[in-house]
Amino acid sequence: MPTPVTPTVRIIGRPHLDRDELNRYLTEVGAQGWASQRTHFNDAQDVVEVAGRTCYRSWAPRLNPNVTRVRNDSDEYLGNIVAHRHGSVMEHAQYTFILQDVSRVFTHEWVRHRQGVAISQESLRYVRLVDLPFWFPEWAQNDAELVRRGHDVLTALEEFQEWMADHFQLDAPGVSFHEKKAKTSFMRRFAPEGLATVLVWSANIRTIRHVIETRTDEGAEEEVRLVANQIGELMAIETPALFDDYVITDGGAWTTQHRKV
């Protein structure tokens, strides 16, 4: 019997600032006041702000003779970066996600976003299938006949996977890993594209914004929209100053007047 699953997103990596080294740098350039006046810390937002202020030496008035006035509030400063589409400084802040129980239908589309990302996917050349976990969207779950027939197909494919493993004697003593790999690679050809898998996905904030904007659009594929929305919700908590310009439509699309930052 196939295992029902739901695509899930987890953050497993986020930016970390070495504040001792940063403070040494700020002291050297006469900007130690920037650090001392801060009341809260957010490493992802702070690294973006550090990158932005470094570009103009805008830590305080007159450090750059051309700058007579600066924004002291970090949220206001970052909001101005978003509004003026200075997206390059967002590329310094990268997050790593586990996308669990996403289908290979999903991954075929998701890996089209390559700029500013790193991708590692569970390999079915090496990982032998036993069961075939599968996601049925809510509308499909409400169709009893569809679910029954789908389960029948998946159960037959699971049984065929088990039969092939036994037929090839993959668990017999002395079978080399090379042979197991070759047979496992063949066996995966009988797995459906809807099979649930795992993707490790790293992206910088500029790329994450772009992906959320394009992949929550009402014309995007259903599972892709589900995952993109989860990433958006997590990032709105992680870095609110860099995502609070979004409005979510009734259809679930994340929209902003600052597209393509």
Residues 79, 82: Cα–Cα separation, whole Å: 5
Residues 78, 44: Cα–Cα separation, whole Å: 11
| Per-residue pLDDT tens over the stretch 230-254 | 999 999 999 999 999 999 999 999 9
| Per-residue pLDDT tens over the stretch 173-232 | 999 999 999 999 999 999 999 999 999 999 999 999 999 999 999 999 999 999 999 999
Per domain, the residue ranges of the chain are 15-91, 125-190
pLDDT of residue 168: 97
| Greatest extent of the chain over all pairs of C-alpha atoms, in Å | 78
Please provide the average confidence, as pLDDT, over all residues in the chain.
Answer: 95
Q: Specify the pTM.
A: 0.94
Residue from 108, 76, 90, 87 nearest 195 by CA: 108
CA distances, 219 to each of 251, 252, 253 (Å): 10, 11, 9
Checking if the pLDDT of 39 tops 90, the result is no
Terminal-to-terminal C-alpha distance of the chain:
46
CA distances, 234 to each of 145, 152, 217 (Å): 36, 36, 18
The answer to whether residues 94 and 203 touch, using CB atoms and an 8 Å cutoff, is yes
pLDDT of residue 36: 79
DSSP state letter for 91: G
Segments in the chain forming alpha helices (H): 19-28, 32-36, 43-56, 74-83, 104-110, 138-141, 144-167, 177-187, 205-215, 222-238
pLDDT of residue 207: 97
